[in-house]
Chains A and B, each alone.
Chain A
Amino acid sequence: MDVYLPIAEIPMNLFLLLAMGGAVGFISGLFGVGGGFLLTPLLIFSGIPAAVAVATVSSQIVASSASGAAAYIRRQAIDFKLAGFLTFSGLFGSAAGVWLFSILRQLGQLDLMLALAYVVFLGTVGALMLQEAVRSMIAIRRGKREAPRRPGQHNWVHGLPLKVRFRRSRLYISALPIVALGAAIGFLGAILGIGGGFLMVPALIYLLRVPTAMVVGTTLMQTIGTMAFATIMHAGTNYSVDAVLGLALMVGGVIGAQFGARVGQRLRGETLRALLGLLVLSVGVRFAVNLIVTPSEPYSLTTFGGAGL
């Protein structure tokens, strides 16, 4: 059954959209990430204009993060103060991202920047995740236990000024790395159409030493804030949010996420992290291949003014 997408201005099969949303939702439920890094390229490959894909996925991420966050709110596993700091700084990053997005689109280098950014970020993060997970899998096989986190463990981040206390996370750290992290992820999210959860979670754990119990809920809360802002900005400046496309992806996504979460509970943490690392890495590699291999069609068309293509 085809449904006409009023903003993308092409018809798409409704069941295909629900299935794509569902599959990505399953993965996002399984690993506890937004899944934007998979959904955005999927939509672009299936013929949705890149601008519409990036903008619409940000609204879908709001839905999937909200469904996840509801459970963490009930469990009181969210540090609202930390989430607030991250979101507020994320708004500035997000606004800068939306601005750069429309400039790159005019220059005709949006596709290149998207591909390069995907290669660099997904490649690096995927490789790091995989390495860390494999290392701890080997350690467990050898019978060593993972070293538990000790409160008061410090790294260079804890030496910075402007300290703020976060009670829920039992942290007393500088606001500077928090603001920088929030802004950077808001920026990437607006440009790449990703929530940035897969970057935020490791950064909170390894860089800021936020307790693991608080990390996921806080990240989800921050994702809702920045992605909601990115959606509104894209709708206001690029007119590229397709609510019909968004709704189809949301419905598929939140249902898929439930099943993903159920399967995820049966898998070991290291296995999950290794699989996620592999997935992230392979999306990065896929983009790298596109950049390096001789394209079958080196030409492309875009419009400026008048009716869109």
Chain B
Amino acid sequence: MTARRLVPVLLGLLLAVVALPRTAPAEQLVTAISTDLVSISSNFNGSQIVFFGSIERDSQSVSRPAQYEIAVAVFGPPTNVVARRKVRTFGLWINREAEAFEEVPSFYALLTTSPLGDIVGEPIRQRRGLGFRAIVDESQADDRIRPPRFEAAFLRLMQAQGRYSEVPGAVEFLSPTLFRANLVLPPNVPLGTFDVRVFLFRDGVQLSQASEQLTIAKVGFEQAMTTFSREHGLLYGLATVLMATLTGWLASVIFRRD
């Protein structure tokens, strides 16, 4: 092998070493969730979940003065939503315009240490699904431009129902490396498996990511009744009618006047 042929090989090797990712990141996230199953029974009226996390640093990493920022994004099971707008037609307000939002999360909460704009830039927000803007852009089915007023209305209504929220300050540091985040689940929380993604940022750069899962499900009687009503709809209807007839008949016996 001549020296002339060796040069490009060596150059290539050098480039590869430089471009290679570091084998282990300097910071790693370790997270825990207060409960991974929220069970809905007859007295359910919303719930609260607590996330804990710790930032593990390897010994070599220099402690830098810049602050850690945490973002916790909670995604409910995806759903398809149609937003409709009423337009006055012959004096009546009628639903005339509609826009679809496909595969949007049925629940979305973004818990952060500071306002999102201060933590991380637009490209990463879009890529990681952080913030309402990213959620709405993600749900665009085709290339057509959706009127911004529909997107605003969608976000406004979802927030009014307590399904969408951005809560800056919901993540607080208990020590320089230990943090806690509170998630409030409203009474009308959708059911299913929720994805929870935790991100660690510093100076607008993502250092680490962790994920958790959270399941919200009916249990006991509520579960049994829903399953029965879904699988044996007609029988369930018949049982309801029997219950109604019995209630009515019982009342007429108890309050009999003639």
Contacts and interface: CB of A to CB of B under 8 A. Distances in A.
B251 A254 contact: yes
Contact of A66 (B191, B225, B248, B258): B248
Contacts of B79: 303, 305-309
A111 interface: yes
B243 interface: yes
A67 B43 contact: no
Given A235-B229, A237-B233, A302 B84 contact: yes
Interface stretch (A70-78, A125-133, A135-143, A189-197): A70-78
B158 interface: yes
B106 A232 contact: no
B45 A307 contact: no
A234 B83 CA distance: 25
A169 B199 CA distance: 77
A4 B229 contact: no
A147 B83 CA distance: 57
Interface string A282-309: 0000000001101101111111111111
A51 interface: no
Given A9-B191, A67-B249, A62 B77 contact: no
A243 B188 contact: no
B82 A108 contact: yes
A243 B40 CA distance: 17
Contact of A299 (B85, B225, B253, B257): B85
A63 B248 CA distance: 4
A108 B98 contact: yes
Contacts of A254: 247-248, 250-252
B187 A309 contact: no
Question: How many A residues touch the partner, as a band?
Answer: 35 or more
Interface stretch (B10-18, B64-72, B125-133, B234-242): B234-242
Nearest to B223: A6
A111 B225 contact: no
Interface residues of B, number: 69
B82 A4 contact: no
Given A6-B222, A9-B191, A232 B234 contact: yes
A224 interface: yes
Interface stretch (B48-56, B88-96, B114-122, B200-208): B88-96
A243 B258 contact: no
Nearest to B40: A4
B252 A239 contact: no
A258 interface: yes
Given A11-B187, A233-B237, A246 B244 contact: yes
Contacts of B226: 6-7
A301 B222 CA distance: 26
Contact of B95 (A4, A241, A300, A308): A300
A143 B62 CA distance: 104
Contacts of A108: 82, 84, 95, 98
A299 to B, nearest CB: 4
Contacts of A233: 237
A300 B157 contact: yes
Contacts of A304: 80-82
A71 B86 CA distance: 47
B230 interface: yes
A98 B24 CA distance: 61
Contact of B192 (A65, A250, A307): A307
Interface string B191-222: 11000000000000000000000000010011
A269 to B, nearest CB: 19
B106 A239 contact: no
Contacts of B40: 4
A69 to B, nearest CB: 8
B80 A66 contact: no
Given A70-B252, A292-B92, A239 B83 contact: no
Interface of A: 2-4, 6-7, 9-11, 59-60, 62-71, 74-75, 108-109, 111-112, 224, 228, 231-237, 239, 241, 243-244, 246-247, 250-251, 254-255, 257-258, 291-292, 294-295, 297-309
Interface of B: 40-45, 76-88, 91-95, 98, 103, 106, 150, 153-154, 156-158, 161, 163, 187-188, 190-192, 218, 221-222, 225-226, 229-230, 233-234, 236-241, 243-245, 247-253, 255-258
Given A4-B41, A108-B95, A307-B106, 8 more contacts: A2-B43, A9-B188, A62-B245, A63-B243, A299-B85, A301-B158, A303-B106, A308-B190
